[in-house]
Amino acid sequence: MTAKTFDAIIIGAGQAGPPLAGRLAAAGMSVALIERKLVGGTCVNTGCMPTKAMVASAYAAHLARRAADYGVTLSGPVGVDYKMIKARKDKVSNDARTNLESWIGGMDKCTLYRGHARFETANTVRVGEDLLSAEKIFLNTGGRASVPDLPGVNDISYLTNSSMMDLDVLPRHLVVVGGSYISLEFAQMFRRFGSDVTVIEKSPRLIDREDEDVSDAILSIFENEDIKVHLGAGDISFAKQGNDIAVTYSAGKAPAVGSHVLLALGRTPNTDDLDLDKAGVEVDKRGFIVVDDQLRTSVPGIWAMGDCNGKGAFTHTSYNDYEIVAANLLDNDPRKVSDRIEAYALYIDPPLGRCGMTEAAVRKSGRRALVGERPMTRVGRAVEKGETQGFMRILVDADSREILGCSVLGPGGDEAIHCVLDLMYAKAPVSTLARAMHIHPNVSELLPTIAQELKPLV
């Protein structure tokens, strides 16, 4: 057994771990960075980077099939080479991981340990034969796909977002169980690759945390691409049917029979095998590590960042967690989680960009509000691109004139949303947006126009 003392231990080399290691090492601290699987975490290996590489391939196939709409002729039908799609995706992911490993390897005063970390005391962690101790410990252990105990689920071979990345054949018929963000990206992606796709969702609408008309618009987008969607699906169960898998739902309805089944039913934090009880670290009933507004756990000297703390489930929230911790520890800057504004994107085509409050949340708050909307059919850039599905909406406090939230479902929605997000952080009145001169032609140029046409939310 080797015992060694560091100034800081970081468990998990996802989005928050390596940059924090870099800041701490640059400040003169000795750092142990522990990773039991792949450096880069979910984003680099099974999440953002590989899936968005595949989304790009799916978009190319979709646009090629629409070539005639743009006056472009092709000599034959459009096909896809799924092995090449996977190889491209793998290269994007592998290159990012290799670059990250090289950066970590070049850090002075940082040692990368490979293995499964477990607490022995509040300041001692075991990794294989190594016993490491530090006054400061940072948890960045991420999460994994939840697999609920549904009837028959253990009798079939199912896929999760992670194992989808290893799939080397194109499914004949992909049945996606779940109707939220991850599931919708995979559903559209594989439909565009050529698979038949069926989505089964227990809620009465897709992505039910969004406003109802956003859910309806996304359903319409899917139906236009011949993706079958079954909503309000209760009593979900699974059974083998020859070489296929039958997914039964809602008594009396015919099962969906597919060659492959993807379970996309939420995420579970990777906290159940760290022996947190030995350190006295508190977790909630779902397994998320309990933290305060500056990401400190119930134990002095231990912090939790990223998906394992339940404060966000995105790469950008994980990275922001690192920024908050580093600001407080190293910069005498009292940043906190409650300062940030909820913001994210759904990477279907067209994408949805979202920040702040939904219309439903504004109504529930009881405040006086203003709203401005415009369909993509009235956005010149969308018309020019032949991509007019979706709409944009801005919500404003009628008294303070500060922007409360925004939704942009349409081409470039994941980028355009930042025009509004930055103003919200600046607490600028909506008149700042209304007076801005944006570049024409662009989707974003309609945001000032909408800001000039606000009406009471009734």
Alpha helix (H) residue ranges in 238-314: 276-279
DSSP 283: B
d(CA 156, CA 245): 7
Tell me 259's DSSP state.
Answer: S
Give the angle 297-302-306 at the CA atoms, nearest 5°.
Answer: 70
Catalytic residue among 62, 418, 438, 440: 440
Taking the C-alpha atoms of residue 230 and residue 103, their distance in angstroms, rounded to an integer, is 46
In the chain, the amino acid numbered 418 is: H
User: How many other CB atoms sit within 10 Å of the CB of residue 411?
Assistant: 24
Q: 334 phi and psi, to 5 degrees? A: -80, 60
116 is catalytic: no
Question: Measuring CA to CA, how many Å separate 309 from each of 44, 295, 296, 346?
Answer: 20, 8, 10, 22
Tokens 């991850």 locate to 182
Distances (CA, A) of 316 to 98, 257, 344, 361, 414: 21, 37, 8, 23, 13
**Contact (Cβ atoms closer than 8 angstroms) between residue 39 and residue 100:** yes
Active site members: 440
